[in-house]
């Protein structure tokens, strides 16, 4: 009994298994948030993408492209000339090395100046465009939009005409277009001709009278008028010949009314000199 009383009671905690020392059991749970695995967006100006965006021009990009093209062409020509310089090549290389030594530091210091200036001008152009757009009336903007739409439709019209040319041939297509224009505008042209022909004749006679009063003009007219009459007759004969041989386009060329012009000037000269006149080789001269 004394031994049983002396035995201390057994502690349940003392019989628990030892705690695990595995490092994996003490590691925190892995995060499953996708945002935690996304790298942060770089806002550093030295980032290539950001730098490329900064070097883009909005309105004057064509200037930069043209400058690069010129530089590339010049470099290509220079390299070609240097490679084919023959015995002068060592001298060219020596001069090139000297120029690089002298110009190199200056270039490194100022090579960004042209682009910065171009960028500044591009920003000013952007400000100007914004200012102009704020003052341009909406009607003008609509007109500009319509003009742009017409310009965009122009290639379609050209393609249609090209297709018609391929299908019907160049002569037939031109003839069809000419017929359409002739049918559309013939009444208007005839109306204007009938309206302004008398006025034009009267003004022509008055101008002829005034010119005849100038010194040496009658002598010059004696040389020029027959030549003009001769070529007018040749033109009329060519148009008549083409029309008689079935050339449809010849119907749209007007005939020069040589006889009518002669009668008009005969009347004007007779009224001025009070004597009959005759047309000899296209010249207006008093009748004998």
For the chain, give the mean pLDDT.
Answer: 67
| SS3 (DSSP) at 170 | helix
Dump the DSSP string for 66-125. Answer: HHHHHHHHHHHHHHHHHHT-GGGHHHHHHHHHHHHHHHHHHHHHHTTHHHHHHHHHHHHH
What pLDDT does 88 receive?
82
Q: What is the pLDDT of residues 225-256, one digit of tens each?
A: 778 888 888 888 888 888 887 776 666 677 77
Lowest-pLDDT range of 120-134, 160-174, 237-251: 160-174
> To which H or E segment does residue 244 belong?
helix 217-244
Whether residue 89 is predicted with pLDDT greater than 60 in this model: the reply is yes
Higher pLDDT, 53 or 81: 81
3-state secondary structure of 55: coil
Cα–Cα distance between 277 and 260 in angstroms, integer? 14
Q: What's the pLDDT band for 223 if we cut at 50, 70, 90?
A: confident
Query: Are 222 and 283 within 8 A, CB to CB?
Result: yes
- Say yes or no to pLDDT of 6 above 60: no
Give residue for tokens 């102009």: 132
Q: Tell me the pLDDT band of 276, cut-offs 50, 70 and 90.
A: very low
Question: What pTM value is reported for the model?
Answer: 0.31
Lowest mean pLDDT among 28-37, 43-52, 81-90, 230-239: 28-37
Q: How many CB atoms lie within 10 A of CB 269?
A: 21
């Amino acid at each position: 009994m004394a031994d049983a009383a002396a035995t201390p009671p057994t502690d349940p905690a003392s019989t628990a298994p030892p705690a695990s020392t595995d490092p994996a059991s003490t590691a925190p749970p892995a995060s499953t948030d996708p945002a935690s695995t996304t790298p942060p967006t770089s806002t550093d100006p030295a980032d290539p993408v950001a730098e490329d965006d900064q070097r883009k021009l909005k309105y004057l990009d064509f200037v930069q492209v043209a400058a690069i093209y010129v530089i590339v062409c010049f470099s290509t020509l220079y390299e070609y000339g240097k490679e084919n310089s023959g015995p002068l090549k060592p001298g060219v290389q020596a001069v090139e090395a000297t120029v690089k030594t002298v110009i190199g530091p200056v270039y490194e210091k100022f090579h960004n100046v042209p682009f910065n200036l171009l960028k500044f001008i591009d920003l000013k152009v952007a400000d100007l465009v914004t200012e102009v757009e704020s003052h341009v009336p909406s009607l003008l903007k609509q007109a500009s939009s319509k003009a742009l739409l017409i310009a965009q439709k122009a290639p379609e019209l050209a393609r249609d005409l090209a297709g018609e040319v391929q299908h019907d041939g160049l002569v037939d297509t031109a003839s069809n277009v000419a017929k359409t224009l002739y049918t559309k505008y013939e009444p208007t042209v005839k109306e204007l001709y009938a309206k302004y022909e008398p006025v034009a004749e009267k003004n022509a006679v008055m101008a002829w009278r005034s010119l005849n009063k100038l010194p040496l003009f009658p002598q010059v007219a004696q040389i020029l008028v027959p030549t003009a009459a001769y070529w007018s007759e040749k033109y009329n004969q060519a148009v008549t010949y083409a029309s008689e041989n079935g050339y449809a386009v010849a119907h749209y060329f007007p005939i020069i009314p040589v006889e009518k012009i002669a009668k008009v000037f005969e009347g004007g000269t007779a009224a001025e000199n009070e004597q009959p006149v005759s047309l000899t080789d296209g010249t207006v001269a008093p009748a004998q």
